Amino acid sequence: MSLLKALDFSGKRVLVCGASDGIGYGVAKAFVEAGADVAVTGTRSACDYDNDFTAMEFHSLNIQDAAAVSGLAAKFERLDVLVNCVGSVLWSKREFEREGFEKIITINLTGAMQLCTEFFPLLQASQGNIVNIDSVASIRPALNNPAYSASKAGLVQLTKSLAMKWGRKGVRVNSLAPGMVSTKLTANQSSPEQQAEFATRNPVGRFGSPEDIAGGVLFLSSPMAAYVTGHQLVVDGGMTL
């Protein structure tokens, strides 16, 4: 199969959960450009965001609501690729409190598990695949975010477990760990000076972009990765070396 044909998603149905902004939106745009029929989710209504969703099918979703996740799956008749980009973090050391810890685990890990299981029948029917977006925090934990780090490390093992369980049923399951990526979230976390200092230490000398992450997701979702499952693809510019 030629490279161009392998990355042609024409006729494919793709759902990117957590695509209202940042990495998720960048991934969704890449699938649209590759010809896919793309649906996305955000926690609010499409009109509440600055991004343009006219080329996508938008669904509001609170992943903490199990009934809402089931309801979303019921709206789909087919699916070829599920990208789970849902993730949350709490600041001011609130993840050290039980309530904050449980909230992040529910969103980042329990919600991811339900997404995968709810959409599995459709993915089995299409012999499709799942890409879970974890984090380099699964490798090097974040100092003040124990729940985020634990949830992302758990997502790596969840991905491997589902890959083992569903491989013979024709569904591949992989994960991708982004490093520091230029988004509104990282802009709120660090000053321009801190970002410049990080760039001097990162082997490739810059922050990543949502497009960098999208390239990895499209690869894992494509026929080029037909023999790849249970794998964590680290896309961090060498940050974790």
pLDDT in tens, 51-102: 999 999 999 999 999 999 999 999 999 999 999 999 999 999 999 999 999 9
The pLDDT of residue 5: 86
CA pair distance 5, 217, nearest whole angstrom = 16
Question: Does residue 180 lie in a domain region?
Answer: yes
Is 209 part of a structural domain of the chain?
A: yes
Q: Does residue 154 have a pLDDT over 90?
A: yes
Q: Are 235 and 131 in contact (CB under 8 A)?
A: no
Q: What is the pTM of this model?
A: 0.95
**Does 240 fall in a domain?**
no
What are the phi and psi torsion angles at 27 (to 5°)? Answer: -65, -45
pLDDT in tens, 14-31: 999 999 999 999 999 999
Q: Nearest 5°: phi and psi at 49?
A: -115, 160
Q: What is the mean pLDDT of the chain?
A: 94
Is residue 120 predicted with pLDDT exceeding 80?
yes
Q: Which of 55-59, 183-187, 189-193, 212-216 comes out lowest in average pLDDT?
A: 183-187
Provide the domain count of the chain: 1
Residue 88 falls inside a structural domain: yes
Instruction: Classify residue 241: in a domain, yes or no.
Output: no
Q: What is the CATH number of the domain that holds 161?
A: 3.40.50.720
Q: How many CB atoms lie within 10 A of CB 85?
A: 26
Q: Give a yes or no: residue 151 inside a domain.
A: yes
> Coil, helix or strand for 140?
coil
Domain that holds residue 98: 3-235
In a domain, residue 77? The reply is yes
Catalytic residues: 148
What's the mean pLDDT in 228-236? 98
Cα distance between residue 53 and residue 19, in whole Å: 10
Predicted pLDDT of residue 188: 59
